[in-house]
Amino acid sequence: MDASKPPWTCGKIVYPQKNCDRVREKGHTSPLFQRSIQAMLGFHRKSPKAMRVQLEDALKHLLNCDESGRGATVDSLAGALGKSQRHAAEILGHLRGRGLATATGDTHHLTEDGRLYALQVVRTHRLYETWLARETSTPPADWHRAAHKAEHDLEAAAVDALANSLNNPRFDPHGDPIPTREGRLPNRPLASLASWPDGRAARIEHVEDEPETLFRQAEALGLAPGTHLESSRHLENGAIETTVENRKIVIPSAVAPLIHVAEPRVDHEAPAGLRRLSDLPLGGEAEIHELAPTCTGAERRRLLDLGVVPGTRIRCEFASPFGSPRSYDIRGALIGLRDHQANRILIRTPIVAEPPTT
């Protein structure tokens, strides 16, 4: 599926007046839509797209600063946008002139209208990432860049249709809360893995997707929202040693702060002996527990279509001379899986294969 042209987009530039009218006609009268659209119309009429993108990126930065309890400064915005201090100061001036931000000393904060506008941009970004994760084969490391482009291009009506098609998700694939139609941003307290006590089990709830290089490292380790960490131990160099799906891994010190965790939920506790299908020996048999959180999009749908569902028995029948791919018997049918695919299938209650009789 072409991620650049999802089925619910009209392919027109953002928020022209006729689209604002269309939103009203369809009954989208929430404050988030009505008030943020009016601000967007001003940008559409007066601002070239390149400038509008920078203004909207600045609004997101101010929202992040407000949410963390600190105001945005010229220096912080310059760093976030990768621009000079002079350029950042001009951007803040544009936001003040449009009534989207106010200045208090050296810091800037969003007005109520600015907050609603910023939340609409964030809502678009996170919904688009969710669509990419569920419906396409786009690699996780590419979700952010694709969503950053879409957040500046999608119409309000398309965003509303997208949310409906996804059944109005509460969180994006990174674990970030998605702002509601009414302009509410759910908040949940999470701890950084870097500060998590030794020896305690945890469940990953959020993985920050920036910087991209560090996110790629977390992805390569199989870390995603929903992953269970059976135990953890801080090493002298700041890295964290933990057990995931019966395998010991070491999370680099630079990656650990990107991962946010909470106590495992009672209804989502990992069973004892949970491991990956790729660990099943030739002739071994096990029961499928679930698909790993890192299994998304088209790959997830394909495995489900093949019958890889919780509770199903699966047996490793054959292996190629190089070890991968392997053939597995599932419900009387043989399917071939490579190791990277089998790594994303979690199994339990393994049955040790009996030695062949001679």
Looking at domain 191-268, which of 3.40.50.720, 3.40.50.1480, 3.10.290.10, 2.30.30.90 is its CATH number? 2.30.30.90
Q: How large is the average pLDDT for residues 15-22?
A: 39
Q: What's the rounded Cα separation, in Å, for the pair 30 and 241? A: 47
Q: Which CATH class is domain 275-351?
A: mainly beta
CATH code of the domain occupying 17-165: 1.10.10.10
CA dist 175 to 47, 54, 67, 96, Å?
33, 25, 16, 32
Q: What's the rounded Cα separation, in Å, for the pair 111 and 4? A: 33
List pLDDT tens digits, range 58-76.
Answer: 999 999 999 988 899 999 9
List pLDDT tens digits, range 245-293.
Answer: 888 999 999 999 999 999 987 666 666 778 899 989 989 999 999 999 8
Q: How large is the average pLDDT for residues 180-184?
A: 86
Which residue in 112, 116, 101 sits closest to 185, CA to CA? 116
Checking if the pLDDT of 4 tops 90, the result is no
> Residue 349: which pLDDT band, with cuts at 50, 70 and 90?
low
> Residue 35: which pLDDT band, with cuts at 50, 70 and 90?
low
Give the per-residue pLDDT at 298: 87
In three-state form (DSSP H/G/I as H, E/B as E, the rest C), the secondary structure along the chain is: CCCCCCCCCCCCCCCCHHHHHHHHHCCCCCHHHHHHHHHHHHHHHHCCHHHHHHHHHHHHHHHHHHHCCCCECHHHHHHHHCCCHHHHHHHHHHHHHCCCEEEECCEEEECHHHHHHHHHHHHHHHHHHHHHHHHCCCCHHHHHHHHHHHCCCCCHHHHHHHHHHCCCCCECCCCCECCCCCCCCCCCCCEEHHHCCCCCCEEEEEECCCCHHHHHHHHHCCCCCCCEECCEEECCCCCEEEEECCEEEEECCCCHHHEEEECCCHHHCCCCCCEEHHHCCCCCEEEEEEECCCCCHHHHHHHHHCCCCCCCEEEEEEECCCCCCEEEEECCEEEEECHHHHCCEEEEEEECCCCCCC
> Residue 350: which pLDDT band, with cuts at 50, 70 and 90?
low
List pLDDT tens digits, range 136-181.
Answer: 989 999 999 999 999 998 888 889 899 999 999 999 999 999 998 8
Taking the whole predicted model, whether its pTM rises above 0.85 is answered as no
Q: Do domains 191-268 and 275-351 have the same CATH topology?
A: yes
Domain residue ranges of the chain, discontinuous segments joined by +: 17-165, 191-268, 275-351
Checking if the pLDDT of 323 tops 60, the result is yes
List pLDDT tens digits, range 65-122.
Answer: 999 888 999 999 999 999 999 999 999 999 999 999 999 999 999 999 999 999 999 9
